[in-house]
Structure 1
Amino acid sequence: MTDPSEPTAEPANLRFLRRLVTVLAGVMIVGLVTIVALLVIRFSSVPTTPVLPDTISLPDGVTANAVTIASDWYAVVTNDGRILIFDRPTGRLRQTVIVE
């Protein structure tokens, strides 16, 4: 009879599965740490807010419905169906687009 206290040899496929589970757990931990690090880096950066001029001179009787900001210009959509495109550094009117 065999002695129960005597260690038996581990089958090869069980050894392979144990190593596979260990490697997969390690990869999962590294992936989770990477995702958390990327989230912390992404949300800790201070967003830059665009700077608009203090005042925008619109034609008489026109009110602004929306404003769009680009790197060197900004556009104002008016209530009378026009888009007024202003130069950002100087504030002068660059172009007028009529929306039909």
Structure 2
Amino acid sequence: MTDMEKGSLPGDVPPNLRFLRVLVTVLTATMIAGLVIVIALLVIRLSPEKTSVPLPDPIRLPAGKTAVAFTRGTGWYAVVTEDQHILIFDSMTGTLRQTVSIESGD
């Protein structure tokens, strides 16, 4: 005898199969929600900051000096030049505070 002859309907599903179907649906929804959260966190973390550190007005280097690096601290900023000097300027006035000569280790 087939299922149709026994009187069971094609839509009838055993309880354990119905439970398995619910588990798969819940797992799918959980995975989709987790993926959306991970993507949202990546977008939030990798987006550029809204506030940027203000750069000083144009820096006037001494004649013959060419900048290769720039850094700043509280109340000062420094420029590293090609001839291995660090020029430290006052961030408020832009005046040269100090010059540090870098000696090579050779």
Please say if 1:17 is aligned against 2:9: no
CA pair 94-18 structure 1, distance change in 2 beyond 3 A? farther
- Aligned counterpart, 1:3: 7
Q: Which is greater in Rg? A: 2
User: Could you say what the CA RMSD is over the residues aligned between the two structures, in angstroms?
Assistant: 3.1
**Aligned-partner Cα distance in 1 for 2:55–2:75:** 11
Secondary structure at the counterpart of residue 51 of structure 1: coil
Unaligned runs of 5+ in 2: none
- Following TM superposition, the consecutive aligned residue runs of length 4 or more in structure 1 with deviations greater than 4 angstroms are 6-9
Q: TM-score, normalised by structure 1?
A: 0.64
CA pair 41-78 structure 1, distance change in 2 beyond 3 A? closer
**Aligned-partner Cα distance in 2 for 1:82–1:6:** 85
Alpha-carbon deviation of 1:27? 1.2
* Identity level (%): 51
CA pair 93-20 structure 1, distance change in 2 beyond 3 A? farther
Q: TM-score, normalised by structure 2?
A: 0.62
Instruction: Return the match for 1:51 from 51, 54, 66.
Output: 54
CA pair 65-27 structure 1, distance change in 2 beyond 3 A? same
CA pair 82-6 structure 1, distance change in 2 beyond 3 A? closer
